[in-house]
Chain A
Amino acid sequence: GNSVTQMEGPVTLSEEAFLTINCTYTATGYPSLFWYVQYPGEGLQLLLKATKADDKGSNKGFEATYRKETTSFHLEKGSVQVSDSAVYFCALRGAYSGAGSYQLTFGKGTKLSVIP
């Protein structure tokens, strides 16, 4: 079945530091890959997505590249801000192979804290 593994948190960085949150996946076929962000006390928001190999998703200074050869979709940001403090979820939506197979499969989330 489909699965997503992302780095364990929590991650604590100083403002303006470089961020990488690793995400690798297991899936059959050609899944779409997503990063969602959950700010404290809020629901999940889509941060970025990539739907095919070598695509780069980007938003709000965050980037992730769909790497089929390494089955990875690592999230990066060059200079984090205090307002980026949140929980980040990597997710995939797999190729259809029967009822329910388009569901989102999430990683366990990585909590990021950015300190001034």
Chain B
Amino acid sequence: DTAVSQTPKYLVTQMGNDKSIKCEQNLGHDTMYWYKQDSKKFLKIMFSYNNKELIINETVPNRFSPKSPDKAHLNLHINSLELGDSAVYFCASSQFSASSTDTQYFGPGTRLTVL
């Protein structure tokens, strides 16, 4: 069974569209994250949720809106897509948010291409 899963794996869309990426974890973890990996492989945190509550919200355009219907799911909705949003988006989860030793487990990524 996949621990952290994301759908879709690939997403190709036009500028200006609205799209969503879904993430689910079956590890029973309390905390989930969204990361963006740019074309140079640089990874940066976007959001973190702990038990459905937002705890990290980095400087991300408000076109990006995370939603956590329950602690096993964290979806990412993106409005008015722009060319610069093209990237690979990774979901991750960890048992705790308030622990520096805790391991984060990553999903396989969603490659978003905006044309």
A residues adjacent to B (C-beta < 8 A): 30-32, 34, 36, 38, 42-46, 49, 51, 87, 89, 93-96, 99-100, 102-104, 106, 108-109, 111
**Alpha-carbon separation in the docked complex, A103 to B48 (Å):** 8
Q: Which of B60-68, B75-83, B96-104 contacts A (4 or more CB under 8 A)?
A: B96-104
Hey, what's the 0/1 contact readout for B96-115 against A, CB within 8 Å counting as 1? 01111111111111000000
Hey, what's the 0/1 contact readout for B15-46 against A, CB within 8 Å counting as 1? 00000000000000000010000001111110
How many contacts between A and B, using CB within 8 angstroms?
A: 64
Q: Are A93 and B56 in contact (CB under 8 A)?
A: no
- Please indicate the chain A residues that have their CB under 8 angstroms from the CB of B98 in the complex: 96, 102
- Please indicate the chain A residues that have their CB under 8 angstroms from the CB of B106 in the complex: 36, 43-45
For A44, A45, A96, A99, the residue with the greatest tally of chain B CB atoms inside 10 Å of its CB is: A44
- Please indicate the chain B residues that have their CB under 8 angstroms from the CB of A108 in the complex: 40-42
B residues adjacent to A (C-beta < 8 A): 4, 33, 40-45, 48, 55-58, 90, 92, 97-109
